[in-house]
Amino acid sequence: MAIRLSKFTNIKGKQVEFAADNITFDDRHFAREARSQKAQLQSVHKHGTNKGVKVPIHKKTT
């Protein structure tokens, strides 16, 4: 659950919101993401290859 913290200012005599922050107390799972990225790099599949380069068909088939 997030708490929204708003900041207001006066423009031409009217109160206007100019900034808002979301304060969250939930845990973020960055460690799991880093672990999965390392596993992808060690796998036999090539992740993040250049999509502009055409791969020959004989390399695609097994």
- What are the backbone dihedrals phi and psi of residue 52, each rounded to the nearest 5 degrees, phi first? -80, -15
Position 10 scores a pLDDT of 92
Q: Express each pLDDT in 2-61 by its tens digit.
A: 788 889 899 898 999 889 888 877 666 566 666 677 777 777 776 666 667 777 888 887
Position 36 scores a pLDDT of 72
The distance of Cα 41 from the centroid of its chain, to the nearest Å, equals: 18
Q: What is the pTM of this model?
A: 0.31
